Structure 1
Amino acid sequence: MDGKQALYYGAVALAVLIGVSVLVSVVSAILSLAWAVISGVVTLAVLAGVVYVAYKAGSWLSGSDDASVDAGSIGDSRSSSSTSTDDAAERRQDRLRRQYVEGQISEAEFERRIESELETEEFDELDRELERER
Structure 2
Amino acid sequence: MALKKALYYGAIGLAILIGVSVVVSVVSAILSLAWAIVSGIVSLAVFVGIVYVLYKTGAWLFGGDDASDSLGGSRSSSASAGGASESRQDRLRRQYVEGQISEDEFERRIASELETEEPDDIDRKLDDINRELERER
TM-score (norm 1): 0.53
Q: Which position in structure 2 is the counterpart of 1:76?
A: 106
Choose between structure 1 and 2 for higher RCO, CA contacts under 8 A separated by at least 6 residues: 1
Opposite residue 44 of structure 1, the aligned amino acid is: L
Is 2:53 the counterpart of 1:50? no
Unaligned runs of at least 5 residues, structure 1: 79-118, 128-134
State the superposition RMSD in angstroms. 3.4
Structure 1 residue 76 displacement after superposition: 2.4
Q: Which position in structure 2 is the counterpart of 1:12?
A: 12
Counterparts in 2 of 1:121 and 1:25: CA distance versus 1, 3 Å:
farther
Identity rate of aligned residues, in percent? Answer: 55
TM-score (norm 2): 0.52
In structure 2, distance between residues paired with 1:125 and 1:7:
108
Q: State the number of aligned residues.
A: 88
In structure 2, distance between residues paired with 1:125 and 1:37:
63
Counterparts in 2 of 1:62 and 1:13: CA distance versus 1, 3 Å:
same
Q: Which position in structure 2 is the counterpart of 1:86?
A: none
Deviations 1:63-117 (A, max 9, x none): 2325276879833234xxxxxxxxxxxxxxxxxxxxxxxxxxxxxxxxxxxxxxx
Opposite residue 22 of structure 1, the aligned amino acid is: V
